Structure formats: structure tokens, C-alpha cells
Amino acid sequence: MKLLTECMTFEYDSGLIKEQAEAHDGKFLMKGVLQKANTLNQNGRVYPMDVLTREVQNYQRFIEEGRALGELDHPDSSVVELKNVSHIIREAHMDGDVCYGTLEVLDTPNGRILKSLVESGVKIGISSRGVGSTRTEGGHQVVQDDFQLICWDIVSEPSTPGAFVMKEARDLTPHEIQQVKEYFGKNDKVHRLINKIVSWDE
């Protein structure tokens, strides 16, 4: 099992931020593309449609429970550290092969940094973080069915396309594997099983 991180430009509608703040008691909301399926990303990996769709569906539980937190900058960790949290995902859904979502920038130290960057017009990136394995198919890495989405983080976005430092997927340590098991827990396994059974009927 490896830690998989993917970066892309966070394309959001800056005009909606002010409107959303006025409509939602001053909350700093951003809407945009979180991730794409069936697309070769900058790390040379492809997330199959069924895998990403399943994970977005499973992630709804974290959204509903107010636990869909993300960090500012990419930590090299398989768990979300509360001290680094900058935002919370309020909504995520698939539309075709694109995952769209809404995030709320929180009033935390990192949240305030993020808000200041966005208000100053700094271009940012969005990055998924998860654990799983890949297999080489057709010259690129295809993410396998064991993938589990942990969160979406906000990362720096250089203006030059492809200028992201490409991170190789790294193997998790035994301690990190235990953290992942605790993070997802028994309730998550039951939730995933229910989602799988429901999808059979569709």
C-alpha cells in the first residue's frame, strides 16, 4: 500500500466567493474541480472512473459528519493533522468524469493564510491524498481498487504547467498502515460495504 498524492490547478469561480460570503453569513466558500477520473495526471497516474466515483460516494460520510478536513500544503502523512487544517469540504459530487466540490476556508492559522492568498489573487492547487496501490498499464500507472481517499489538500500552484514536483508514491510504514486502519475504522468498512451493495442495484 502506498501514499498517493495528486496535484492540479484549483479552478474556482472567484466571483462566487463574495456572493457566497454574503449568502452564507460571511463564510469563505470556494467551488471548483477537485479531481478528474480517466485522465492521465502530472504524476503519470490514472484514477479509473469506478474507483474515483466510489471514493467520492464513500467520502460523503466524512462530509455529513463534518470530518472532511484538508491541510494547507501537502504533508507526507497518511492522516490529517488538526494543527495544519485550513479548510473543510462541504460538498463533493461526480459529474461525468469530473469531481466538483465546495470547500469552506476555516478560521484557523492555515485557513487565514489560505484566505489571504486567495484574496491576493495567488493561484493555488488542489491535491488529493489517499492510500492504495497502482499497476502499470499502457505506459502509465493505474490506481487499483484498494484505493482509499483520505482528503483534498490545498497546495502551491506554480504558473508553469507541469512545474509541480512529481512525488513518487511511497510505501507506508507499519505505523502509518495502523493509522490508516484506525482512521477508516470498522464503521467505514460497513459504510463502504453498504455503498457497494447499493451500487449493485443501480
Q: Domain locations in the chain?
A: 2-195
- Which pLDDT tens digit goes with each residue over 140-164? 899 999 999 999 999 886 432 333 3
Backbone phi, then psi, for 167, in 5-degree steps?
-90, 130
- Which pLDDT tens digit goes with each residue over 75-116? 777 889 999 999 999 999 999 999 999 999 999 999 999 999
* Distance from C-alpha of 46 to C-alpha of 101, rounded to nearest angstrom: 20
* Distance from C-alpha of 167 to C-alpha of 170, rounded to nearest angstrom: 8
In 3D, which of 81, 79, 84 has the Cα closest to residue 106?
Answer: 84
**Structure pTM?**
0.75
* Distance from C-alpha of 56 to C-alpha of 52, rounded to nearest angstrom: 6
